[in-house]
Chains A and B, each alone.
Chain A
Amino acid sequence: MIRNINKLLRKPKQKNNDIQAEQEQQDVTPVDFLSKHFDHNVEALRLVYDRCSDVVFRPFLLFGKTRATIIYIEGITNVEGMEEFVLSPLIKETASETPSLNEFLENKLPISKVKRMYTIAECIESISSGNPILLYERESDGFSLGLAKWEKRAIEEPTAEAGIRGPREGFNESLETSMSQLRRIIKSPALKIQSMKIGRYTQTTVAIAYIDGIADQTLIEEITNRLKRIEIDGILESEYIEEMIEDNPYSPFPQILSTERPDTACANLLEGRAVILIEGTPFVLVAPICFFSLIQAPEDYYQRFIVSTFIRWLRYAFLGISLLLPSLYVAILTFHHEAVPTALLLSVSASRETVPFPAIVEALLMEIMFEALREAGVRLPKQVGSAVSIVGALVIGQAAVQAGLVSAPMVIVVAITGIASFMLPRYITGIAIRMLRFPIILLAGTLGLLGIMMGIIAIVIHLCSLRSFGVPYLAPLAPLKGSELKDALWRSPIWKMDKRPHFTGDFNSTRQSPNQAPNPKKGGD
């Protein structure tokens, strides 16, 4: 009953919202055509940019007789260029009468990007993105002059994905720069970049990059469709997009990879995945991905494959530790006292003698404390950051143990777990695993090893059911694809990875010719 009433109440509300949204959209972007009356057009734009102090209307006389106005926004427009290439020639020159002023201007202006504008909406978009609009008497169209220019960060090292060997440049906030970085690595014209605008107010440019012939066309369509479906007021970071297009929004595991390294993005492009670039953030999205992409570092491919394989195994081991170690400790201390060597149990029992809490409370306390320390360290300004770590290390590591509030083995367990979770090269994956640790600790504290098994089974079932744009999350392990384990469980040498992954690059599955193992006998003639 109650639910039905709720439904009835809810529906009209939603409709109201829709109508409101439509109205707002109309308010922002009027679709009127430019009229023949110059004053009318300028007035319309003046109305739109009412109370915008950074918008400049510069009236002048074209060729000394025709009234004209140039409209731009200060700060995102190249003013020097405008003065040199637009204003000074147009004001100084006194050209003879020409039948069509438009054509004359189009031929005469020394600017590469010039576009005719027919509607007010087009003009607004052009002005907002930094391109000045030139309007003048007697014509029902204007010109958009490609003179956008604003301050941007230089290309810097990717701070969130550091490495020892490999390219040191990262994407930055400017979409053009990011796209150019991709283009610089993949020079083939098969690299396609399609862009669209998302966000009612921010009008953020979002670009989908893929390699034509490697990426599945239906995948690109699906991504485009999902992006088109987004109806939002603003996009400030790629996470906005990620959450709006992922397959399972309630999962703790990210189903889309975010990276700020062009080399990682390009490696994924070459495997038939799509890269989504978003203006205003250095983090691009990669889809579809599987779980193993999240626990692999770009550097795995930049060092000897034996080393990489070892490091991958180390990472898998520490993935397990970061998920399970505190739970195992709690489970064994509360339920399975016989499962540890006697000497160890006696030492632990001696150190726990003064601790006033049960093991599970102790574990939760310490884990939460650790998370708090980590979070505090991330948010604080650099100067204060060291203070946090000192206080954390002293208070927790030293004082708590000495006061007998926490046992020393527990501190060791928490420290190892913390290090283990930082072993994962992607910060988001580490956090997902750390979050899952807490329910498993609870399970361990109530049901022991049995509870831990239940937790693991639940996580594995969840991982098996996850999809990233239709690609099974645990591929190539489940479904098993033996030939692809070479890049999941271990890292084969580059000359052995002849095929692209089955789920993403199957249309053009051959990456390189086989049998390229270097061998002195093969040498040139």
Chain B
Amino acid sequence: MKNIFRMLCIFGSILLLSGCWDRVEINDLAIVTAAAIDIKDDDQIELSLQVFIPKALSVGGGQGGSGQGGGGGATTLVRSQRGSNISDALSKLQSKIPRKVFWGQCKVFIFGEKLAKQGIQEQMDFLLRHPQPRERAYLYVSKGNPKAALESIPPLERYSGEVIRELSDLHIGMQVTIQDVQEGLIGVAQAGALPLIKILPPAKGEEKLQGIPYIVGTAVFKKDKMVGTMSEKATRGILWLRNEMEAYTVSVKPEGVKGDVSLNPVSARVKLIPQIRNDKWKMLVNINTEGAVIQNGTNLALTSPKSLQTVEKAYQEDIQKRIELAIQQAQHEMKADIVKFGKEFYRKYPKEWKEVEDRWAEVFSEMEVEVNVEAHIRRQGYINKPGGLPEKEVKKQ
């Protein structure tokens, strides 16, 4: 019994003397929901943090009435600070926030366009080295001042960081995490792509700050520097090539009839086949996709195989066009391998790859790309014939 008591004393003191050292109550945390990093004219970094205000959300409690009353207001506050680098700015910023800055729930990091053009390596180091930021947090490049994206008060979501993250999860644009950027920058391609965001101006009747950030395209990085942007349309082509394409709508004009048919790609199998023949590098892109009709504005009855074929052909051409546009931009304008062709070559021809490793960007830009798309329409929705169209007007083939 005496021994047990002694053991308890020792263990108790171990717990009380050495434990608790990193104990932080949740009430003492400033939970960062989004962060923006930009560079100012004097070459100083400006770090802006979007911090969650728990009081704004608290419904219970003695001041239940006042808590609910403030429901329409901001649930976050934005604080900025300049410094020579992120950590310097952060340490200065901490003195302006009475709670400990906590990065663990920050899933959105936005770089300013200017900073992106100058290089993000230094900033990436902080994000990767610090134990708190998540490797699965999303990265973005903002057109204009990234701080504005944080300051906007979205009407639908709790805070603007959430808006951007949700948009990314819809796979509308690229979805790039810290981990992906790290892999892209140090990997074979030495290039990367980040989604590009812009503030959507507030609708009529909405308050001034209620414009939300949204994804408008892609910022293309060569090494750690941004070299250009791609439109949303070209981004879709990139998504096809990277096999990250998810539900979105393609509207095509079938030959010989009036009107559009809108399709939703249901599945897509993308195969990249690298070839080196006679020292000529060539990439064969085979895409096999199946789509579902979601709107038929033409008078074609898709039950007949012939009209189905015309639509399928249009669908196929549209995808091909998009991909070619994307490849054209990546290959010839940016000369950045954001479609991960390098990886494929490295896998199949490691020796040859080693020889051209240093001038890969050049080889990439000169390589021939052949795109083969095979598109089918498998689902037509609840109705077969065009909806709301009299039987007589339906074109029969």
Contact of A345 among B4, B60, B64, B105 (CB under 8 A): B105
Q: Report A-chain residues with C-beta under 8 Å of the C-beta of B58.
A: 350-351, 353-354
Q: Is the CB of B102 within 8 A of A337?
A: yes
> What's the nearest-Cβ distance from chain B to residue A329, in Å?
11
Chain A CB count within 10 A is highest, among B23, B57, B158, for: B23
Q: Looking at the assembled complex, report how far the CB atom of B9 sits from the nearest CB atom of chain A, in whole angstroms.
A: 14
CB under 8 Å from chain B, chain A span 324-340:
333-335, 337-338
- Asked if A350 meets B57 with Cβ closer than 8 Å, knowing A333-B26, A345-B105, the reply is yes
Whether A401 sits at the interface, judged by CB under 8 Å, is: yes
Residue of B nearest to A447 (CB): B19
- Given the known A-B contacts A349-B29, A443-B15, A446-B16, are A335 and B4 also in contact in the complex, defined by CB atoms under 8 Å? no
B60 touches A351 (CB 8 A): yes
Q: A354: which B residues are within 8 A, CB to CB?
A: 58, 60-62
Closest residue to B2 on the A side, CB-wise? A3
Residue from the list A346, A407, A447 in contact with B57, Cβ < 8 A: A346
B82 at the interface (CB under 8 A from A): no
A87 in contact (CB, < 8 A): no
Complex CA gap A512/B33 in Å reads 65
Is A217 located at the chain interface by the 8 A CB criterion?
A: no
Decide if A191 is an interface residue (CB 8 Å cutoff). no
Q: Are A342 and B107 in touch, CB under 8 angstroms?
A: yes
Q: Are B25 and A334 in contact (CB-based, < 8 A)?
A: yes
Partner of A346 from B22, B59, B132, B158 at Cβ < 8 Å: B158
Given A250-B4, A337-B105, are A349 and B62 neighbors across the interface (CB < 8 Å)?
no
Q: Is A389 an interface residue (CB 8 A)?
A: no
Task: Say if the beta carbon of B52 comes within 8 Å of chain A.
Answer: yes
Chain A nearest CB, measured from B204 CB (Å): 30
Contact among A337, A404, A446 with B104 in the assembled complex (CB-CB below 8 Å): A337
Residues of B within 8 A of A334 (CB): 23-26
Residues of the A chain whose Cβ atoms lie less than 8 Å from the Cβ of B105: 337-338, 342, 345-346
Q: Does A408 contact B (CB under 8 A)?
A: yes
**Most chain B beta carbons < 10 A, residue from A346, A402, A407, A451:** A346
Give the nearest-CB partner of B4 in chain A: A250
Give, as a whole number of angstroms, the nearest-CB distance from B103 to chain A.
8
CA distance A335 to B31 in the complex (A): 14
By the criterion CB–CB under 8 Å, are B26 and A337 in contact? Answer: yes
Set A333, A353, A447: member contacting B55, Cβ < 8 A: A353
**Neighbouring B residues of A442 by C-beta, 8 Å:** 15
Interface residues of A in 440-466 (CB under 8 A from B): 442-443, 445-448, 451
Q: How far is the CA of A352 from the CA of B52 in the complex (A)?
A: 14
Whether A348 sits at the interface, judged by CB under 8 Å, is yes
B20 close to chain A: CB less than 8 A: yes
Nearest to A346 among chain B residues (CB) is B52
Note all chain A residues with C-beta closer than 8 A to B62. 354, 402-404
Interface membership of A286, Cβ < 8 A: no
| B90-107, CB < 8 A from A | 102, 104-105, 107
Q: Which residues of A contact B23 (CB under 8 A)?
A: 334-335, 445-446, 448
Q: Which of A359, A402, A443, A446 contacts B25 (CB 8 A)?
A: A359
The smallest beta-carbon distance between B132 and chain A, in angstroms, is 7
How far is it, in angstroms, between the C-alpha of A369 and the C-alpha of B59 when the chains are bound? 25
Q: Which of A221-250 contact B (CB under 8 A)?
A: 250
Q: DSSP class of A's interface residues: helix, strand, loop or mixed?
A: helix
User: Residue among B4, B27, B107 with the most chain A CB within 10 A?
Assistant: B27
Partner of B27, one of A347, A353, A445: A353
A252 contacts the other chain (CB 8 A): no
A337–B60 touching, CB < 8 Å? no
Q: Mark B1-41, 1 if CB is under 8 A from A, else 0.
A: 00010000000000110011011111101010100000000
Q: Which residue of A has the minimal Cβ distance to B62? A: A404
Residues of A within 8 A of B24 (CB): 334-335, 337
Residue of A nearest to B64 (CB): A402
**Which residues of B lie under 8 Å from residue A448 when comparing CB positions?**
23
User: Which residue of the partner chain A has the closest CB to B24?
Assistant: A334
* Contacting pair B26 A348 (CB below 8 A): yes
Task: Tell whether, in the assembled complex, residue B19 and residue A349 are in contact, meaning their CB atoms are under 8 Å apart.
Answer: no
List residues of chain A with CB within 8 A of the CB of B104: 337-338
The answer to whether A347 touches B16, judged by C-beta atoms less than 8 angstroms apart, is no
Complex contacts, A166 vs chain B, CB 8 Å: none
Q: Is the C-beta of A436 less than 8 angstroms from some C-beta in chain B?
A: no
B-contacting residues, A299-336, CB 8 Å: 333-335
In the complex, what residues of A have CB within 8 A of residue B225's CB? Answer: none
**Which chain B residues in 46-78 approach chain A with CB under 8 Å?**
52, 54-62, 64
Q: In the complex, A342 Cα to B162 Cα: how many Å?
A: 10
Are B26 and A346 closer than 8 Å at their CB atoms?
no
Say whether A349 contacts B22, CB under 8 Å. Answer: no
In the complex, A258 Cα to B13 Cα: how many Å? 38
Q: Could you say which residues of chain A place their CB within 8 Å of the CB of B395?
A: none
Q: How far is the CB of A396 from chain B (nearest CB, A)?
A: 14
Judged by a CB distance under 8 angstroms, whether A355 is at the interface is yes
Kindly list chain A residues whose C-beta atoms are within 8 Å of the C-beta of B26.
333-334, 337, 345, 348-349, 352, 359
**Known contacts being A349-B52, A355-B27, is A342 close to B33, with CB within 8 Å?**
yes
**Residue B242 at the A interface, CB < 8 A?**
no
B79 lies within 8 A of chain A by Cβ: no
B19 and A347 contacting across the interface, CB-CB below 8 Å? no
CB of B134 closer than 8 Å to a CB of A: yes
Known: A337-B102, A342-B107, A447-B19. A404 touches B61 (CB 8 A): yes
- Least Cβ distance of B58 to chain A in Å? 4
Query: A408 contacts B31, CB within 8 Å?
Result: no
* Contact mask for chain A residues 59-81; partner B; CB cutoff 8 A; 1 contact, 0 none: 00000000000000000000000
Determine if A353 and B61 form an interchain contact, defined as CB atoms under 8 angstroms apart.
Answer: yes
From the candidates A353, A358, A402, A445, name the one contacting B54 in the complex (CB within 8 A).
A353
Which residues of chain A are near B22, meaning CB under 8 Å? Answer: 335
Q: How far is the CA of A475 from the CA of B104 in the complex (A)?
A: 43
Within 8 Å CB of A404, what residues of B? 60-62
- CB neighbours of A443 from chain B (8 A): 15
Measured between C-beta atoms, what is the minimum distance from A369 to chain B in Å? Answer: 18
Could you tell me the distance between the alpha carbons of A348 and B105 in the complex, rounded to whole angstroms? 13
A338 to B62, CA, bound (A): 29
User: Could you tell me the distance in whole angstroms from the C-beta of B12 to the nearest C-beta in chain A?
Assistant: 9
Which residues of A have CB within 8 Å of B134? 338
How far does the Cβ of B130 sit from chain A's closest Cβ, in whole Å?
Answer: 12
A446–B60 touching, CB < 8 Å: no
Query: Please, which residues of chain B bring their CB within 8 A of the CB of A350?
Result: 54-59
Interface residues of A in 347-371 (CB under 8 A from B): 347-355, 358-359
Q: Please report which residues of chain B, range 208-253, place their CB below 8 angstroms from some CB of chain A when the two chains form the complex.
A: none
Give residues of chain A (391-420) contacting chain B, Cβ–Cβ below 8 Å.
Answer: 401-404, 407-408
How far apart sit A404 and B33, CA to CA, in the bound complex (Å)?
Answer: 25
Which residues does chain B contribute within 8 Å of A346, judged by CB atoms? 31, 52, 54, 57, 105, 158
Chain B positions 98 through 136: 1 when the CB is less than 8 Å from some CB of chain A, otherwise 0: 000010110100000000000000000000000010100
Query: Which of B4, B24, B61 counts the most chain A CB atoms within 10 A?
Result: B61
Q: How far is the CA of A439 from the CA of B60 in the complex (A)?
A: 30
Closest to B33 in A: A342
Whether A337 lies near B15 (C-beta < 8 A) is: no
Residue ID in chain A nearest B1 by CB atoms: A250
Q: Kindly report which residue of chain A lies nearest to residue B15, judged by CB atoms.
A: A446
Pair B61/A402 contact, Cβ less than 8 Å: yes
Given the complex, which residues of B lie within 8 Å of A338, measured CB to CB? 104-105, 132, 134
- Residues on B with C-beta less than 8 A from A407 are 60
**A334–B24 alpha-carbon span in the complex (Å):** 5
Bound complex: CA A351 to CA B25 (Å): 13
Give the distance to chain B from A298, nearest Cβ to Cβ, in Å: 36
A349 near B102 with CB under 8 A, answer no
- Distance of A442 Cα from B22 Cα, bound (Å): 15
In the bound assembly, the distance between CA atoms of A451 and B20 in angstroms comes to 11
A-B contact pairs, 8 of them (CB 8 A): A335-B24, A337-B29, A349-B27, A350-B54, A351-B58, A402-B62, A404-B61, A446-B20
List the 4 shortest-distance A-B pairs measured between CB atoms, nearest first. A338-B104, A446-B19, A350-B57, A404-B61
Beyond A335-B24, A355-B27, 4 extra complex contacts between A and B, CB < 8 Å: A342-B107, A345-B105, A350-B58, A445-B23
